[in-house]
Amino acid sequence: MSKTRYSPTGLHVDSLLAHAGGGCDQATGAVVPPIPTATTFVRDEDYALVSSNHIYSRDDNALFRKTEHLLASLEEGADSRLFASGMAAVAAVARIVRPGGTILAQSGIYWGTTLFLRKHCARNNIALVEADAGDLEAFQDEMAVTKPDLVWLEVPSNPFLQVADVLSISAQCKQAGALLTVDATAATPLLLKPLSLGADLVLHSATKALNGHSDLLGGVVTTGDSSSEAWAFVCEERKNAGAVMGSFEAWLLLRGLRTLALRMERMTRNAQAVAEYLEKHPKVETVLYPGLASHPQHELAKQRMTGGFGYLMSVLFKGGKEEALKVAGALDVFQRATSLGGTESLVEHRFTIEGPESGIPENLLRLSVGIEHEQDLIADLEQALAGI
Ligand code: PLP
């Protein structure tokens, strides 16, 4: 998928993933690591740790480290930390900003993140400014006025699929001494590497494509500089606030990651075909997908999303809420459920879930495209659209 080779093994990303980062269980030689269930680890007679870094499982364990090491390699970053959910990762990063500080967040991102930032900032005397990152000049002007401590982007954004210019925004952040965080959940590290574009931190909901099987909640934050103050805070926050991933979830995530390259290849190809089909359909008003030439940031996405345009898209239907819900109700292969990034395709009427305050249009359906056969997905949409 990617041409990057990973040191010290020199493997391509597909091979690195297939081997779950490499190495075997030291004690037995097993090719699959055991699930560490112990919460605590003994000390010897002199009160020294029997195994270094093994004190208590809220701090760390061997499986977290193995999974984090693999995720940091994928991001071409320095270090990663797993969290109990994507939102736990969001919260840990947002808390870097102290009372009296300012966060500049992209508008129209995942509604859960927007809501968290609004409530968190209001309670903690942090100024929150929300701005459209689709217009780079306007966003950069806002940065110059706002002078934020932290800039928050989501690339591509959920559910509007905006592709913010991380490279240009990170250059301005560096000049102004602001921290830049990118939530790249809808891209995965295979399609977008925000750290190499100058971001300080990148985060993902591992619940989505990283795991890819809709059977765990998780989050991950990765840094390009493990000696930074921000990174020290994120690590301390994970340990002290305790939003740590369960060991079974870490094991499932590592297993899911083995097939990430394969899944992303198929999902991205399917999504492109579905987007092209829908765009030509007479009952469709607009398709929001960075892989379409009609997408406002298509040229930018081509430069930055080197591995493809991802599995997520939104479709706006001619008519309104009724038409969108009718299509959702008639789909058979696409499952009607929230979330994204699983092997199964999902459809969601975001307005019903998030309400009018979210600003999500009533005629919008979000599609997360899975690994099914492309013709089955298109046939399913065809029969559902015939009913409106
Ligand atoms: N970030 C994005 C872009 C998301 O779409 C989501 C969830 O949908 C989250 C973060 C939160 O992740 P989680 O549901 O794992 O807490």
Q: State both tokens at 170.
A: 């990170």
Q: Which atom of ligand 1 is found nearest the CA of 154?
A: 3
Give pLDDT tens digits for 84-137: 999 999 999 999 999 999 999 999 999 999 999 999 999 999 999 999 999 999
Give the per-residue pLDDT at 23. Answer: 83
**8 vs 243, residue with greater confidence:** 243
One-character DSSP codes across 160-213: T-----HHHHHHHHHHHT-EEEEE-TTT-TTT--GGGGT-SEEEEETTTTTT-S
Nearest Cα to 188, choosing from 246, 267, 252, 101? Answer: 267
Model confidence at 373: pLDDT above 80: yes
Q: How confident is the model at residue 53 (pLDDT cuts 50, 70, 90)?
A: confident
Q: Catalogue the active-site residues.
A: 58, 110, 183, 208
Q: How confident is the model at residue 3 (pLDDT cuts 50, 70, 90)?
A: low
**Protein residue closest via CA to atom 15 of ligand 1:** 86
**Protein residue closest via CA to atom 8 of ligand 1:** 339
Q: Which atom of ligand 1 is found nearest the CA of 109?
A: 3
Give the per-residue pLDDT at 26. Answer: 78
Q: State both tokens at 125.
A: 């005397």
Q: Domains of the chain, with CATH numbers?
A: 13-257 (3.40.640.10), 261-385 (3.90.1150.10)
Distance 87 CA to ligand 1 centre (A): 6
The whole-angstrom separation of Cα 107 and Cα 138 is 12
Give the per-residue pLDDT at 215. Answer: 98
**Protein residue closest via CA to atom 14 of ligand 1:** 86
Give the per-residue pLDDT at 8. Answer: 59
**Which residues of 195-340 form beta strands (DSSP E)?**
201-205, 219-223, 284-288, 312-317, 335-336
The whole-angstrom separation of Cα 342 and Cα 267 is 9
CB-based contacts of 240: which residues, under 8 Å, 6+ apart?
none
Q: Which atom of ligand 1 is found nearest the CA of 218?
A: 15
Model confidence at 6: pLDDT above 70: no
